[in-house]
Amino acid sequence: MKKLGITFIFLVLIYIQAFTQSGYTPAEENLKNREWFQDAKFGMFIHWGVYSVMAGGGDYGIAEWIMNEKQIPIKAYENLANFFNPVAFDAAEWVAAAKAAGMKYITITSKHHDGFAMFDSKVSDWDIVERTPYGKDVLRMLKEECDRQGIKLFFYHSQLDWHHPDYYPRGRTGQGYTGRPESGNWGRYIDYMNAQLTELLTNYGDIGGIWFDGMWDQWDADWQLDKTYALIHKLQPGALIGSNHHKMPYPGEDFQMFERDLPGENTMGFNQGGISELPLEMCETMNGSWGYNIKDRRFKSTKELIQTMVKAAGYGANFLLNNGPMPNGKLQPENVDTLKVIGKWLGKYGETYYGTTRGPVSPRSWGATTRRGNTVYVHIMDLPDEYVFLPELRQKIESVKLFEDQSNLKYSQNNMGTIITVPFVKRNDIDTIVVINLKE
Ligand code: JFZ
């Protein structure tokens, strides 16, 4: 009898757990995947959709927003699908490019704000299979290739929708011009979104996670996060949930993201939340746009990207570097070159990056530190002096060497901190790495 009572209570708890994420306890495999995620460190973001056809329309700025920027009504915008025919798309080539860069996962837009599904959705015909001459499910093709090449696949999914009539009341964007009626059933929209998420989490095998975006369109809306997050964790307990809401993570989320800013920085103006204890990820563009922009040639240098990647690691954050593939299905050639250079750098210095956590000294103007066990990597990027000062190494130093040639470096440690000599002649342009081994 007592046993039955305990079983009953247990079942009730499981039941509650399944329908609310507020008291969210991540599953074993979820925790394991968080570890994997943090060790993996580097991923490829892909923004690809029918907006890619317009290639930014001759403007700078974020090309995937063109529908809203140019106030294109849905009826006209839908034409773009007729011109989306990426015959040169080769999933193997994309995944190989990601691998060559040293990336361990890919996060691709399953649906962006324009509502267009880049997969074979049964709950909408506004999707790549039904509306484009190409007619193939690119997410499936990509997933199969990712499985083949050992890369994890995540889906970016927009909660904001400029196309669905039931996304009503409307938020800051997608107002007026779209041609939708001034009425709609919000609950039905959430059900629709959950139905598409169910498709994504049941028809494509194991998914790395869901990268949400769009809540910022209207804070007051009833997003029903508990329901959506519980659904995802029920379908795939290991899938990691993150959301680009720029706030501290909500219950049910498994990682925290920062958009085009290092954690804690707010150069963009919208990254105001603090830094949580969850795994962190920073996303970054190659130029100024996520979607393919034909005009924007202001590509960041490989030096800048590598330095940002390493600084993010100094905060313990992953680096999700974007690609906006062209409408023909190819990655932009200049981006492929950039990826190769980063991959080459990681091939040589990856030991100081992968599988590390943030180091004992938080990022400074001169660089950052990462750490694995009793080994600290000091990444010196911009140091005008011959010395670097590290205030807070709690353990005694065993040895200090230059990563490059394993030569010993002079240092002095006392109770105020540690000073290490890093000779100018030993410096390189991107990141001069000092390896400190600490005593137990
Ligand atoms: C969002 C998307 O809007 C953008 O297209 C891209 O996918 C990026 C990764 O995520 O970026 C935002 C998020 C919030 C705001 C603007 C752009 N905002 O609050 O104004």
DSSP 81-105: HHH---TT--HHHHHHHHHHTT--E
- Whole-number Å distance, alpha carbon 160 to ligand 1 midpoint, is 10
Residues at CB less than 6 angstroms from ligand 1: 47, 62, 64-65, 213, 216, 244, 259, 270, 283, 290
Mean pLDDT of 87-114: 98
Checking if the pLDDT of 1 tops 60, the result is no
Over residues 39-83, the pLDDT tens digits come to: 999 999 999 999 999 999 999 999 999 999 999 999 999 999 999
User: Given this model, what pLDDT does residue 23 score?
Assistant: 85
User: Given this model, what pLDDT does residue 392 score?
Assistant: 79
- Give the C-alpha separation, 356 to 319, whole Å: 13
Sign (positive or negative) of CA dihedral 115, 120, 125, 126: positive
Torsion of CA 234, 42, 263, 305, to 10 degrees: -150
pLDDT tier, 271 (very low <50, low <70, confident <90, very high otherwise)? confident
Helix H or strand E segment including 189? helix 186-202
Closest-lying ligand 1 atom to the alpha carbon of residue 45: 9
Over residues 362-409, the pLDDT tens digits come to: 999 999 999 999 999 999 999 999 999 999 788 999 999 999 999 999
pLDDT tier, 17 (very low <50, low <70, confident <90, very high otherwise)? very low
DSSP 198-259: HHHHHSSSS--EEEEE-GGG-TTS---HHHHHHHHHHH-TT-EEEE-SSSSPPTT---EEEE
Helix H or strand E segment including 7? helix 2-19
pLDDT tier, 123 (very low <50, low <70, confident <90, very high otherwise)? very high
User: Given this model, what pLDDT does residue 213 score?
Assistant: 98
Checking if the pLDDT of 277 tops 60, the result is yes
Q: With contact defined as beta carbons under 8 Å apart, do 266 and 275 qualify?
A: no
Over residues 311-338, the pLDDT tens digits come to: 999 999 999 999 999 999 999 999 999 9
Helix (H), strand (E) counts: the chain:
12, 16
pLDDT tier, 121 (very low <50, low <70, confident <90, very high otherwise)? very high
Strand order in the sheet with 42-46: 240-243, 209-213, 152-158, 105-111, 42-46, 317-323, 280-284, 256-259
Mean pLDDT of 210-222: 97
Strand duo 256-259 + 280-284: pairing: parallel
Tell me the CA distances in angstroms from 289 to 59, 189, 269, 399, one per residue in order: 10, 28, 17, 44
Provide the mean pLDDT of the chain.
Answer: 95
- Whole-number Å distance, alpha carbon 173 to ligand 1 midpoint, is 11
Over residues 223-258, the pLDDT tens digits come to: 999 999 999 999 999 999 999 999 999 999 999 999
Geometric angle at alpha carbon 24, from 22 and 27, rounded to 5°: 165
- 173: tokens are 């964007």
Closest-lying ligand 1 atom to the alpha carbon of residue 216: 19
10 Å Cβ neighbour count for 406?
9
Q: Is 166 helix (H, G, I), strand (E, B) or coil?
A: coil
Q: Which residue has the higher pLDDT, 18 or 246?
A: 246
pLDDT tier, 274 (very low <50, low <70, confident <90, very high otherwise)? confident
Q: Whose CA is nearest to atom 19 of ligand 1?
A: 216
Checking if the pLDDT of 268 tops 90, the result is no
Q: With contact defined as beta carbons under 8 Å apart, do 192 and 164 qualify?
A: yes
- Whole-number Å distance, alpha carbon 425 to ligand 1 midpoint, is 43
First to last CA, the chain: 53
Residue found under tokens 């691709």: 108
- Whole-number Å distance, alpha carbon 322 to ligand 1 midpoint, is 13
pLDDT tier, 9 (very low <50, low <70, confident <90, very high otherwise)? low
Mean pLDDT of 415-435: 97
pLDDT tier, 15 (very low <50, low <70, confident <90, very high otherwise)? very low
User: Given this model, what pLDDT does residue 6 score?
Assistant: 54
Q: With contact defined as beta carbons under 8 Å apart, do 24 and 250 qualify?
A: no
pTM assigned to the model: 0.94
Q: Is 184 helix (H, G, I), strand (E, B) or coil?
A: coil
Q: With contact defined as beta carbons under 8 Å apart, do 211 and 155 qualify?
A: yes
- Give the C-alpha separation, 382 to 170, whole Å: 47
Over residues 295-312, the pLDDT tens digits come to: 999 999 999 999 999 999
- Give the C-alpha separation, 358 to 356, whole Å: 7
